[in-house]
Structure 1
Amino acid sequence: MKIAVYSAQPYDRRFLDEARQRYAVDAAYFSDPLTLDTVPLAQGCAAVCVFVNDQLDAAVLQALHALGVRAVLLRCAGFNQVDLRAAANLGLFMARVPAYAPEAVAEHALALAMTLNRHTHRAYARVREGNFSLDGLLGMTLNGKTVGIVGAGQIGTAAARIFKGLGCTVLVSDPAPTPQLDGVATRANLDELLAASDIVSLHCPLMEATRHMINAASLARMKPGAMLVNTSRGALIDTAAVIDALKSRQLGALAIDVYEQEANLFFHDHSSDIIADDVFQRLMTFPNVLVTGHQGFFTIEAMREIAAVTFDNLACHMNGTPCANLLPASS
């Protein structure tokens, strides 16, 4: 079987090639994202492998099916970009990697919070220029502060345990029961969590119920001067509302590893380009905003897990065996 890998970076090829040695699979790697225009790259392939910002709407899925593609493998956990109804109607095998080294993303959330709080990124730049002044670098001690974790899946649970280990009081908001956090976090509804937390960290999936869950109204309910951290999905945040809250100083600081309009920015070098996204450029003018380019997952352990599960999923399709990672069908 031959598989077309879209949005492939050199590191993707390294880990996918390492994993596929156990299977009778050939791979064609393309740095291009999957769009309707790039579907023809999958000619002769029975499966495609895609990442978080690849397009999987009805038109793309139909075009892939017409080429003979019968399996779509997501090397990520989120699937908000997939037209599930179209996939089900076409009878496509659709599988994802539901969890991979959740501690990696949780640790990155902590790294963002600590960097922004203690201004280590600014201190690093200063010291390299011979400036050892401490003005503007004042932070707060995290021990004893309240951290709100929104979403208690595997990543949110790992984040809650990390912040608890720092001596923080941890609140968690999740519609599902959270017995795994007994003795670690106290359950609270979202409004209570926002009002009480010095740091709010988002760890929930993107769906209609969570799209722009952080908006003008929820920002107004946050503790004045609190920090917001997002390592989940960019569209959990209404970026325009966040900018207004930063300008009014209702929001004290923002750390994001994801951005709602990241598809045309992240995972590529734009250092010689003019970035035309005015909202993103406005964010970058704030000294109390820290942005990383969707690297929270990017550890050796996570990349190996992603590659292994991706090819395990493909093996299920090839062998006709049950797959625990199938995407849910939409009726």
Structure 2
Amino acid sequence: MKVAFFDTKTYDKTFFETQNEDYHYKFAFFETRLTDHSVVLAKNFDVVCVFVRDEINAYVVKKLLEYNVKMIALRCAGYNNIDFTHINNDLKVVNVPAYSPYAVAEFTVSMMLTLNRKIHKAYNRTRDMNFSLHGLLGFDMHNKTIGIIGTGKIAKVLIKILKGYGCHIVAYDIHEDKSFAKEMDYTYTSLDHLFATSDIISLHCPLTKETEYIINQDSILKMKDHVMIINTGRGKLINTLDLIEGLKNNKVGAAGLDVYEEESEYFYEDYSERVIQDDVLTRLIGFPNVLITSHQAFFTNEALINITQTTLTSIYELQHNKPLTNQVIFDF
């Protein structure tokens, strides 16, 4: 089996080559993203392995079919960057549905604590020999109400962690897990009630037509003053311009963003010596109460091992005509 990797970094190559010792597949690693212009690189490959920034639009799908590529293997959970309109049974799509819920849940809590206790500010101050506590006042997590939107695997781990802090949990999900809610002693509620009662709101729902911009001007107005918003899900769950307005008028007290709706141009790249042309992103970074990270919540050793093993297992299943355990079936 010949596999073309797109948008690859050094850690992708390291982990996949190590795990490939058990499979002996032929790998080619391309730094470029899979797009209209780079799809020609997929010629003569059985599988293309892609990530969140690759653009698998209708044209790319058409060319992959022409090149007799048999599978698109996403080394991530989300697949909103794939146009399924022209995908047929000749081209399979697989993903990694749960590479490490612990990685993302733990990172989410770290964002909450960092923003609350101003740890990032304290770190920068002490490096300048400034040991003042002015402006570093936080609050106890104990007894605070945390609103969780989406209660899948990641959110369930997060809820367990937050329960350890003594937090009260309210949740919203179109598919309520009432058994788990009873076990962990939290309640499902409406979005409006969640917005109105939560001290911190954390987003863990998939990006769909229904959830796109679930955080917007109207929903922010329903929230508590000085609410903290955390997004380790998908960038377009938040209308960024509306969030900025909320930050400017102090309705939103803090925001932790591991994702950004226009992240594909910048995230995972080094722009330290270049000028960022995205004025919205630059504005966000300028807020002292905003913490932005580069879509790294998943980035643990355990997660990368699981991503690698799951992806290679999918390729093995394809090679041996076995049912694809993690096949993505898109229903129109």
Compute the TM-score of the two structures, normalised by the length of structure 1.
0.98
Distance 2:56 2:180 in 1: 34
Quote the offset at 1:20 in angstroms.
1.8
Letter in 2 for 1:156: A
Paired residue secondary structure (1:152): coil
- The alignment status of 1:76 with 2:76, answered yes or no, reads yes
- The alignment status of 1:127 with 2:119, answered yes or no, reads no
Q: State the match for 1:199 in structure 2.
A: 200
Letter in 2 for 1:314: I
Q: Aligned ranges for residues 268-283 of structure 1 at < 5 Å?
A: 268-283=269-284
Paired residue secondary structure (1:284): helix
Q: State the match for 1:49 in structure 2.
A: 49
Distance 2:260 2:305 in 1: 25
Q: State the match for 2:15 in structure 1.
A: 15
Letter in 2 for 1:329: F
Letter in 2 for 1:155: I
Aligned residues: 330
Quote the offset at 1:156 in angstroms.
0.9
The Cα offsets for residues 102-158 of structure 1, whole Å up to 9 and x where unpaired, read as 010000000011001100001000001100011111111101100011100000111
Q: State the match for 1:171 in structure 2.
A: 170
Quote the offset at 1:315 in angstroms.
1.0
Residues 255, 201 of structure 1: alpha-carbon distance in 2 compared, 3 angstrom cutoff:
same
2:5 touches 2:30 (CA, 8 Å); kept in 1?
yes
Q: State the match for 1:181 in structure 2.
A: 181
2:228 touches 2:254 (CA, 8 Å); kept in 1?
yes
State the superposition RMSD in angstroms: 1.0
- The alignment status of 1:244 with 2:250, answered yes or no, reads no
The Cα offsets for residues 28-48 of structure 1, whole Å up to 9 and x where unpaired, read as 001111111111222221110
Distance 1:230 1:177 in 2: 21
Quote the offset at 1:16 in angstroms.
1.0
Q: State which drifts further: 2-11 or 17-26.
A: 17-26
Quote the offset at 1:183 in angstroms.
3.4
Quote the offset at 1:52 in angstroms.
0.8
Q: State the match for 1:317 in structure 2.
A: 318
Distance 1:84 1:20 in 2: 29
Paired residue secondary structure (1:149): strand
Paired residue secondary structure (1:61): helix
Distance 1:72 1:268 in 2: 24
Paired residue secondary structure (2:147): strand
The Cα offsets for residues 215-257 of structure 1, whole Å up to 9 and x where unpaired, read as 0001111111110000000000000000001111111110000
Quote the offset at 1:82 in angstroms.
1.1
Quote the offset at 1:85 in angstroms.
2.4
Distance 1:52 1:182 in 2: 35
Quote the offset at 1:68 in angstroms.
2.3
Runs of 4+ in structure 1 off by over 4 angstroms are none
Q: Aligned ranges for residues 1-331 of structure 1 at < 5 Å?
A: 1-88=1-88, 91-178=90-177, 179-184=179-184, 185-331=186-332
Paired residue secondary structure (1:255): strand
Distance 1:318 1:30 in 2: 22
Letter in 2 for 1:150: I
Paired residue secondary structure (2:286): coil
Quote the offset at 1:277 in angstroms.
0.2
Letter in 2 for 1:96: N
2:172 touches 2:190 (CA, 8 Å); kept in 1?
yes
Quote the offset at 1:298 in angstroms.
0.2
Distance 2:261 2:274 in 1: 20
Paired residue secondary structure (2:146): strand
Distance 2:330 2:113 in 1: 40
Letter in 2 for 1:285: G
Quote the offset at 1:181 in angstroms.
2.9
2:65 touches 2:90 (CA, 8 Å); kept in 1?
no
1:195 touches 1:222 (CA, 8 Å); kept in 2?
yes
Distance 2:81 2:192 in 1: 28
Quote the offset at 1:100 in angstroms.
1.1
Distance 1:43 1:114 in 2: 47
Distance 1:329 1:203 in 2: 21
1:157 touches 1:181 (CA, 8 Å); kept in 2?
no
Distance 1:82 1:72 in 2: 10
Distance 2:183 2:96 in 1: 29
Distance 2:259 2:209 in 1: 18
